[in-house]
Structure 1
């Protein structure tokens, strides 16, 4: 099974919409609207085309990941970062390492583009294997009430989180 990872393009939008819908339809902690979030983010200033990535097997899109711009702000400073949301894999392809490949590939591209960190809300048992740590360790807070064990961050570069603290400021598209 050869997995091809590549940048999403406009011809993929409909397939990706349905993929995300299927990937989350049985997810316990979902509002089942992740596919609409991706559409809004694509049309926002937070969108980075190189960080909307699909996974293909035999010319079929089976996975997608999106990283978008966000900020971490405190009284003194504002820090650029990325949000990972969502990572989606068709149910019949889950558990085959596709999500892991998308995450690691996305991290590499983000590093090349000069980003130093990524923040996410996700399963506390899944993301630490990639190096994600609790946001509270860095005094980074979410702008809404969520369990702290689900709020995670990773430094993509050495000292990528040095001196970073504050509240996460998500793009407006996350809340529309």
Structure 2
């Protein structure tokens, strides 16, 4: 498996993986697929943090992860997600490899933290903890422990307040 930046021309393959990963019976197009299209048009899109997993150099895309520009109060931070792995490749370490790669890249870019909405059982292994532990408020209080934060090396000692994703997230 190879992790690399998403390249121009990968959009259709990434959309296909995202659609397969989040497909629900009776739902033609998952919200995550539409969200990716909208994020790509938004000023919060960060191409350096849109990564794909492939089966070989130039091979099929197995998974995708992206971080976009968010903020806590007025401080720029990252909103992580969606993370997508094609169902044929789930439970084989693709999602974990993408997470390690995107968090390492974000850390190398001196980003302060990443926030996401997801399963605590999965994301805890990557250092995520409930946002409330850090004094950071979820965009929706009903998300509770599912809204999580992972501080990175450049995180200021005190960073508190409401978390805001890139604008397309608020249109879901």
Pairing partner for 2:103 from 101, 107, 123: 107
Find the aligned partners of 2:43 and 2:157 in 1 and give their Cα distance: 26
> d(CA) in 1 for partners of 2:108 and 2:37?
25
Alignment TM-score, normalising by the size of structure 1: 0.89
- 2:43 alignment counterpart: 45
Q: Distance in 2 between matches of 1:55 and 1:153?
A: 23
Higher helix share: 2
SS at 1:42's partner residue?
helix
Q: 2:34 aligns with which of 33, 36, 40?
A: 36
The answer to whether residue 42 in structure 2 is matched with residue 69 in structure 1 is no
Rounded Cα–Cα distance in structure 1 between residues aligned with 2:160 and 2:66: 23
Question: Structure 1 residue aligned with 2:125, among 129, 141, 160?
Answer: 129
TM-score, normalization by structure 2: 0.91
Gaps of 5+ in 1: none
Instruction: Compute the displacement of 1:156 (Å).
Output: 1.3
Aligned equivalents of 1:101 and 1:65: distance in 2?
10
What is the deviation of 1:153? Answer: 0.4
Structure 2 spans left out of the alignment, 5+ residues: none
Give me the whole-angstrom Cα distance separating, in 2, the residues matched to 1:161 and 1:151: 20
Moved over 3 A (4+): none
Which residue in 2 is equivalent to 1:175?
170
- Count of aligned pairs between the two proteins: 166
In structure 2, the CA distance between the partners of 1:36 and 1:69, relative to structure 1 (3 Å rule), is: same
In structure 2, the partner of 1:149 is 145
